């Protein structure tokens, strides 16, 4: 069971991404099932997800899943058409249905490093064709957020999304990296190299600060792309304080002992 802490709008950054560049998955889905896995002590994030994804597809079915039965009972009064709550975990108790999106935020970070892969595999084996699993982490009010995207073949990308004014250097987000990467921010690891490259480009883009943090961020992203980093999105996402890089550029490369 997770600690369950949450706040309204805490997951707005990843929801904006799901309802934006990833919305095509929901539009094409034969079964528009979306899962909020481990929503916590309050069902707020599931309610918000239903509202936001309902703007993409009116018949979306959002299911909040929690391992704690008391949390499920507390959420039941909020059920309505397209929004339900069930007890369960990574096995996804959805009666044989295959979700097109599964979002798990601030869940796997509470596990040991040697445990997350099994949970990744379990969830991905239950996805619909074209479905994705989003394993992410954010701070208490959602101003620093990261997430790994996986499909049935494995991890695809890492996204970093920061609120302008809530960081001094991009690498300040390091403490909010997903479990697969949080212990890998050390010399010799790819994610460490990527964060260092972001910091360097951010520093070199300082002259653009007179035009605002947004223009400085966009300039940083352009520099990273010109250096060969495989960025998967462009200015329309960069302007939001968001950057997405191919998983191959940040994937763990050396063994790290399990850390609780």
String of DSSP letters for the chain: -------TTTTHHHHHHHTTTTHHHHHH-SS-EEEEET--SSTHHHHHHHHHHHTT-TT-EEEEEES-HHHHHHHGGG-BTTEEEEE--TT--STT---SEEEEESSGGGS-TTTHHHHHHHHHTTPPTT-EEEEEEE-TTSSEEEEEEEETTEEEEEEEEE-TTS-SSGGGGGGG--HHHHTT-STTSHHHHHHHHHHHHHHHTGGGGGG-HHHHHHHHHHHHHHTT--B---HHHHTTTEEEEEGGGT---S------
Looking at the fold, whether 158 and 193 belong to one and the same domain comes out as no
What's the domain range around 139?
12-162
Residues 127 and 99: their CA atoms lie apart, in Å, by 5
The tokens for 30 are 């034969």
Task: Show the tokens assigned to 250.
Answer: 């940040």
120 and 35, same domain (yes or no): yes
48-61: b (≥16 Cβ within 10 Å) or e: bbbebbbebbeebb
Residues in the chain: 260
**Is 58 contained in some domain?**
yes
| pLDDT at 110 (0 to 100) | 82
The answer to whether 98 and 126 are in contact (CB under 8 A) is yes
Q: What is the pTM of this model?
A: 0.93
The C-alpha atoms of residue 18 and residue 23 are separated, in whole angstroms, by 6
| pLDDT for res 1 | 52
Residue 254 lies in a domain: no
In a domain, 135, yes or no: yes
The domain spanning residue 60 has which CATH number? 3.40.50.150
Together in a domain, 220 and 146: no
Instruction: Kindly state whether residue 51 falls inside one of the protein's structural domains.
Output: yes
Residue 113, pLDDT score: 86
Q: pLDDT tens per residue, the chain (260 residues)?
A: 555 567 789 999 999 999 999 999 999 999 999 999 999 999 999 999 999 999 999 999 999 999 999 999 999 999 999 999 999 999 999 999 999 999 999 999 888 888 999 999 999 999 999 999 999 999 999 999 999 999 999 999 999 999 999 999 999 999 999 999 999 999 999 999 999 999 999 999 999 999 999 999 999 999 999 999 999 999 999 999 999 999 999 999 865 443 33
Q: How far is it, in rounded angstroms, from Cα 252 to Cα 190?
A: 7
């Amino acid at each position: 069971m997770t600690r369950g802490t949450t706040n309204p709008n805490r997951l707005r950054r990843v929801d904006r991404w799901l309802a934006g560049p990833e919305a095509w998955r929901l539009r094409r889905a034969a079964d528009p099932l979306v899962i909020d896995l481990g929503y916590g002590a309050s069902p707020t994030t599931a309610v918000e997800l239903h509202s936001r994804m309902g703007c993409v597809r009116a018949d979306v079915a959002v299911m909040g899943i929690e391992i704690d039965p008391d949390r499920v009972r507390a959420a039941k009064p909020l059920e309505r058409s397209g929004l339900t709550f069930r007890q369960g975990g990574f096995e996804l108790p959805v009666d044989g249905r295959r979700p097109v999106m599964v979002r798990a935020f601030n869940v796997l970070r509470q596990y040991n490093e040697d445990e997350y892969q099994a949970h990744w595999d379990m969830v991905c084996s239950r996805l619909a064709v074209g479905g994705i699993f989003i394993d992410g982490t954010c701070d208490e009010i959602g101003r620093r957020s990261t997430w790994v995207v996986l499909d049935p073949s494995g991890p695809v990308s890492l996204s970093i999304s920061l609120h302008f004014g809530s960081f001094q250097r991009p690498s300040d987000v390091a403490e909010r990296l997903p479990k697969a990467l949080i212990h890998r921010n050390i010399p010799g690891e790819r994610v460490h190299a990527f964060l260092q490259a972001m910091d360097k480009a951010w520093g070199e883009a300082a002259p653009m600060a007179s035009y605002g943090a947004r223009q400085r961020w966009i300039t940083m992203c352009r520099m990273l792309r010109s250096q060969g980093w495989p960025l998967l999105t462009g200015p329309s996402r960069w302007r939001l304080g968001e950057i997405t890089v191919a998983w191959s550029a940040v994937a763990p490369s050396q063994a790290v002992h399990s850390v609780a």
